[in-house]
């Protein structure tokens, strides 16, 4: 009997020791997780069925800027790899895949039964809600004013003629880069902008400087914040001024939400 009890105790201790070792091993196991990215780029708003024809002097960045889409999306939709070479006469889609022309579904109203009297139901009164201004997205770097002068034009969401701000100045006044970046467009091919410079600051952020008298930088040139890139002028405008835009994922945003207060 004594021998049996001792044997049982030894087995119990062995099981407890084995369980403890297993638990310690589990506690020391390292779990590795992929870091999550907080700067996921939002895709551009596609325009199904819409195409553009490349004109002489066009660049992919210029076409993307003019149509309010991100250049990465435009390149992917058309199978164009860096350095984004395009040719006059080439047709570019402003939508992914093989989406066709947008169609609108229609329905045929049912007829009332014979002898039945129907009264039109008045539409519900529209509910007006205040439009909330979205909080600015953190760019991850600081912005600076591109020129000295009075603000004579403000950003208006949804207004194609007010996609940035206008800063009054004098002819020849210095226009400076608002942040570090690389020049992706330097030309006069975008109607309404005159002599225009576009700087790419990251995969998601661009800035644009329009109506210059003279451009001082070339495409592909690396730029530092505060560096003079142009001379202020009135090309494509009725007076000497700088038209300045900031775009996030191809979409215009209010520059005053990002520029320091002054």
Q: CATH code at 76?
A: 3.10.350.10
Contact between residue 211 and residue 225 where contact means Cβ atoms under 8 Å apart: no
Ranges of residues in the chain whose predicted pLDDT is under 50: 1-7, 12, 14-39, 100-114, 116-117, 128, 130-132
| pLDDT of res. 231 | 98
Please check whether residue 19 lies inside any domain of the structure. no
DSSP reduced 3-state for 25: helix
Please check whether residue 68 lies inside any domain of the structure. yes
User: Among 49, 50, 70, which Cα is nearest to 60's?
Assistant: 70
Quote the DSSP letter at residue 29: P
| pLDDT of res. 122 | 58
Same domain, 157 and 70: no
Quote the DSSP letter at residue 37: P
Give the C-alpha distances (Å, rounded to integers) separating 199 from 50, 205, 246, 256. Answer: 26, 9, 10, 18
Cβ neighbours of 75 (radius 10 Å)? 18
Same domain, 87 and 175: no
| pLDDT of res. 42 | 74
Range of the domain at 226: 151-257
pLDDT in tens, 18-69: 444 443 343 333 333 333 333 456 788 889 999 999 998 889 999 999 999 9
User: Among 49, 64, 53, which Cα is nearest to 97's?
Assistant: 49
| CA separation for the pair 250, 77 (Å, rounded) | 15
| CA separation for the pair 245, 259 (Å, rounded) | 11
pTM, to two decimals: 0.69
| pLDDT of res. 137 | 86
Please check whether residue 189 lies inside any domain of the structure. yes
């Amino acid at each position: 009997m004594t021998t049996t009890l001792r044997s049982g105790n030894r087995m119990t201790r062995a099981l407890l020791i084995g369980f403890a070792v297993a638990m310690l091993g589990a506690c020391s196991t390292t779990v590795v997780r992929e870091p999550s990215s907080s700067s996921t780029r939002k895709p551009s708003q596609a325009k199904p069925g819409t195409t553009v024809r490349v004109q002489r002097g066009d660049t992919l960045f210029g076409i993307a800027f003019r149509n309010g889409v991100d250049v990465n999306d435009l390149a992917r939709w058309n199978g164009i790899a860096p350095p984004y070479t395009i040719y006059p006469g080439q047709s570019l889609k402003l939508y992914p895949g093989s989406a066709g022309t947008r169609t609108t579904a229609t329905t045929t109203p049912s007829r009332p039964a014979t002898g039945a009297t129907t009264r039109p139901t008045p539409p519900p009164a529209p509910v007006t809600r205040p439009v909330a201004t979205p909080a600015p997205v953190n760019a991850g770097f600081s912005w600076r004013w591109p020129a000295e002068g009075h603000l004579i034009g403000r950003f208006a969401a949804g207004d194609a003629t007010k996609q940035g701000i206008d800063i009054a100045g004098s002819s020849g006044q210095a226009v400076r880069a608002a942040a570090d970046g690389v020049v992706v467009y330097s030309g006069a091919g975008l109607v309404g902008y005159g002599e225009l410079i576009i700087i790419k600051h990251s995969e998601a952020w661009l800035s644009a400087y329009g109506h210059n008298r003279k451009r001082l930088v070339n495409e592909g040139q690396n730029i530092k914040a505060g560096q003079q890139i142009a001379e202020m002028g009135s090309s494509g405008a009725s007076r000497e001024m700088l038209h300045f835009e900031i775009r996030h994922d191809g979409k215009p945003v209010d520059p005053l939400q990002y520029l320091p207060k002054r």
